[in-house]
Structure 1
């Protein structure tokens, strides 16, 4: 029997792999005259200034309930996507609380209000440059949002929602068709921030990845050729008992397309995005089982005869009322160079604990089960080069068993330097974390749309690693550009595992 044609998601992944020969042939200087501006501007609208509510000693610290409400929303948005630094050495580039590949920030954040006493019904764009909300549409659109999200239960009693879009050119200017991967990794960073900033400010974001794309695009009044909706979050106010909601379905499947034309370079990204959309009239796809918190009690890989090392440890202390978590979100930066010095095994265990074991942080008022699309699809491998108390080699991290399982015995510094496109971060890191997924199996469950889910979940995990490392004064930097096939070859991991994201960890230089 002939093998079935690859789906468009598999085709996209293969087409956008970096290879030493093809990458060298494609290398070209950027057209800086066409560098995109990472901010959206509106000529008309009503601006709501959020800056007065940022400081803890603002008027919100009084008994003024209205001011407290504004302070919570202001701090949520600032911690999620606010400007936290300006880099004169980089031409005055602004950095935000969520990292972005190349500082291009393709995501836009919108707030949808059902209509409260303080925030009238309508659509708002978060203006990170001025830390304000720009109301550009004043009518009630909540019911339209509910319909576009298949009447998701979390939208029944909430008053606010966040919609995240991608402005494709911002990333494609530099990364071309592979930018689609970067866009969703960046959005995953943002989702990680929203989740944790919500806990700090008494909100519980409910993630919605299954929606009618065209309907959400129309609702937001965006040009689908330039910008597209990629995630919706219902924002439950935990101080209102009516909004303390049960979990809902985060991910819905799309179609799987295997009959596609020859797509020229430069057009693959937009074609792929369009053909991972959920269209109206797809109610048949909603006959899905209820959400299961633990789909499997076992980790995927249990290699025979491998060394198994427990990773349970003391949890990171985030301070009174999570004050240290908020400070960490403000000061997080990607490390530019490592010294090559070792980390301790206790430090690595603490990083893994915060990233993968949220139930250990209930006593600090963090969510024991934050929303992802489907973490059962994501696997974690760690290349250890310099961790005291841990032999160099490749390990599989088993989050359910909370243990490392060694699968290769070797120091990979030279190979890591090569597969990370010659970046010294790969060579000098003490440990390098790889997030992977069996793409074929994932597509069988969720269709081609799963490509979005996988990269957003990998980015979300990566952001938890970023914040944990920052709190522990460990250097950290994500890498979205690598020689894909070399990852499997070097680490000795199964060929079915598609590399999604790399996070490097080490002592900053």
Structure 2
């Protein structure tokens, strides 16, 4: 019998794996003359300057409204550093990390027109910390229709839409860039979630929408860019916008019939395959589904060492001042000393990342939106954590427990798996986010590839901020030898590796 073709998502994942035997042959010389500019320019439109509101003392209601919006956008994606380069053009760093500093994401704001911001479409201009109003019609009903009348858009007055300009990342990472684009978007979603708490908003995540309609709404070039997420911004100071949680993800089709796709064309072809044009969920619709049924006993072997991760929560200070300062000073660590972390530090990192309900009393959302965390598994390779035996551990978030699944020091192997980066070798712990791709596709179709990477990036951003707050080093890694990770760490072969986060003492 002929072998059944795998879905396009599985095909894409296999095609974009790094392998030590073929990586060198697939590498390419960067054309620096074609390096993309990580900023989108609108030549026509009215500009709203947000800078005066960011630090100023304001007392009038409208001024406070603008200050909250300014703070939300700056802490989500604002420019936080300007670094000179040999090429002449400076490198601008933003509040959210991006692979290679390429920043493929763009942030748009849609206003219903019922508040201080006139109705229409806005692009967030990070270079000037301003909004450019490039379309002034009432478009809210069109947004609702494109999102299949998601209930959180019924009473909210603002929405953020994140998009991606594919070439910004593909210039360097080629077809594999699609993975990094969604990890970067996940970082951004993590920042939007936390920055909203600083600004008295609650973002409601929407990943299921009519792609073509949303692209047309924003006047995007579908060959170069695409809408990625929508977030309805509920104003927590308005009781009418105290909205219940709703479903965030919709399934797409699963495509198993596709042509031979040449290298360089795979990213765009795959993205088109993940698009949807209708809500096919039937009576279930946008009804919220809980993750309480998550399996708690996975990898619960009778012989394995089990370590509780229950710990006092991180303290973010009065009015979350510590969180805001951490967001704005976050940087990816370039080198570690190789010194050990403490078990209490690792517990604190896991607590902030996976136990948001512990932070309600500090003003954070206890149940932030993800797409489906039931699909994400977490493994931790421990090389240097004081009080914890070396080896690979599975993290059970519901029961808050580490379960050792392999006994070994992996420092040299981690150096190899992370493409020879010293970050893997010198880290005290390396976190691996994985997913059973076949099972995930069975639930959500090929579009689940988007959801998996955004959820992993969202978790990774919480790890980033917790580590920086504790004075630790942290760096995400999107380039690794995929299959070899599973082999070395003893992770089941059906668990696709989505993201790696290294943690250690900064050098």
Q: What's the TM-score bracket when you normalise by the shorter of the two chains? A: over 0.9
- TM value normalised by structure 2: 0.98
Matches of 2:312 and 2:288 in 1, distance apart?
A: 33
Q: Which residue matches 1:461? A: 459
Consecutive unaligned residues of structure 2, counting only runs of 5 or more, are none
Task: Tell me the residue number matched to 1:17.
Answer: 17
What does residue 188 of structure 1 align with? 186
Using the TM superposition, give the Cα deviation of residue 88 of structure 1 relative to its aligned residue in structure 2, in angstroms: 1.4
Matches within 5 A, 1:117-128: 117-128=115-126
1:251 to 249, 252, 255: 249
Q: In the TM superposition, what is the alpha-carbon distance from 1:301 to its structure 2 partner?
A: 2.9
Once the two structures are superposed, what CA deviation does each residue of 1:55-98 show, in whole Å capped at 9, x if it has no partner?
1xx142x2x11110000000000000000001114651000000
Matched, 1:344 2:342: yes
8 Å Cα contact 2:371-2:455 kept in structure 1 = yes
Counterpart of 1:372 (choices 358, 370, 373) is 370
Correspondence 1:91-102 to 2 at 5 A: 91=88, 92-102=90-100
1:373-405 CA distance string (max 9 Å, x none): 000000000000010000110000010110100
The reply to whether residue 87 of structure 1 matches residue 86 of structure 2 is no
**Alignment correspondent of 2:112:** 114
Report the 3-state secondary structure (helix = DSSP H, G, I; strand = E; otherwise coil) of the residue aligned with 2:298.
Answer: coil
Q: Secondary structure at the match of 2:451?
A: helix
- Structure 2 Cα separation of the partners of residues 84 and 283 of structure 1: 42
Give the Cα separation in 1 of the matches to 2:52 and 2:465: 26
Residue 309 (structure 1) aligns with? 307
SS in 2 for 1:234: strand
- Counterpart residue number, 2:316: 318
Is contact 1:342-1:430 (8 Å) kept? yes
Question: How far is the alpha carbon of 1:300 from its aligned partner?
Answer: 3.2
How much does 1:287 deviate?
A: 4.9
1:4-59 alpha-carbon deviations (Å, 9 max, x no partner): 3100000000000001121111222200000000000011000000000111xx14
- 1:390-469 equivalent positions in 2, closer than 5 A: 390-469=388-467
Matches within 5 A, 1:106-505: 106-280=104-278, 282=280, 284=282, 287=285, 290-296=288-294, 298-505=296-503
What is the rounded CA distance, in whole Å, between the counterparts of 1:187 and 1:272 in structure 2? Answer: 17
How far does the alpha carbon of each residue in 1:417-451 deviate from its partner, in whole angstroms, 9 at most, with x for none?
00100001001101000000000000000000000
State whether residues 253 and 285 of structure 1, in contact with CA within 8 Å, keep that contact through their aligned partners in structure 2: no
CA distance in 2, matches of 1:288, 1:211: 12
1:145/1:299 Cα in 2 relative to 1: closer, same or farther (>3 Å)?
farther
Q: Is the 8 A contact 1:252 1:286 kept in 2?
A: no
The answer to which of 391-400 and 88-97 deviates more is: 88-97
Kindly tell me the number of residue pairs found equivalent between the two proteins: 505
- Counterpart Cα distance in 2 of 1:65 and 1:295: 44
In the alignment, is the contact (CA less than 8 A) between 1:299 and 1:399 conserved in 2?
A: no
Report the CA distance shift for 1:268/1:252 in structure 2 as closer, same or farther (over 3 A). same
Q: Which residue of 1 aligns with 2:29?
A: 29
Residue 465 of structure 1: CA displacement?
0.2
> Matches of 1:222 and 1:290 in 2, distance apart?
30
Query: Mean Cα displacement is larger for which, 443-452 or 110-119?
Result: 110-119
> Contact (CA 8 Å) 1:416, 1:427: kept in 2 or not?
yes
Name the CA distance, whole Å, in 2 between partners of 1:322 and 1:406: 35
> Separation in 1 of the partners of 2:64 and 2:285?
41
State which drifts further: 45-54 or 272-281: 272-281
Which of 67, 71, 76 pairs up with 1:71? 67
1:299 touches 1:400 (CA, 8 Å); kept in 2? Answer: no
How far 1:283 moved relative to its partner?
Answer: 6.6
In structure 2, C-alpha distance between the alignment counterparts of 1:281 and 1:261, rounded to whole Å: 27
- Aligned residues of 1:59 and 1:67 also touching (Cα < 8 A): no
CA contact (8 A) 1:197 1:326 kept: yes
Distance change (3 Å), C-alpha of 1:230 and 1:12: same
Give the corresponding residue for 1:47: 47
Is this contact kept in 2: 1:252–1:285, CA < 8 A? no
Are 2:332 and 2:473, in contact at CA under 8 Å, matched by a contact in 1?
Answer: yes
Separation in 2, partners of 1:413, 1:300 = 26
Q: What stretches of structure 1 of length at least 5 have no aligned partner?
A: none
Question: C-alpha separation between the residues in 2 aligned to 1:261 and 1:297?
Answer: 38
Q: What's the offset of the Cα at 1:305? A: 1.5
1:296 Cα deviation from its structure 2 partner:
2.2
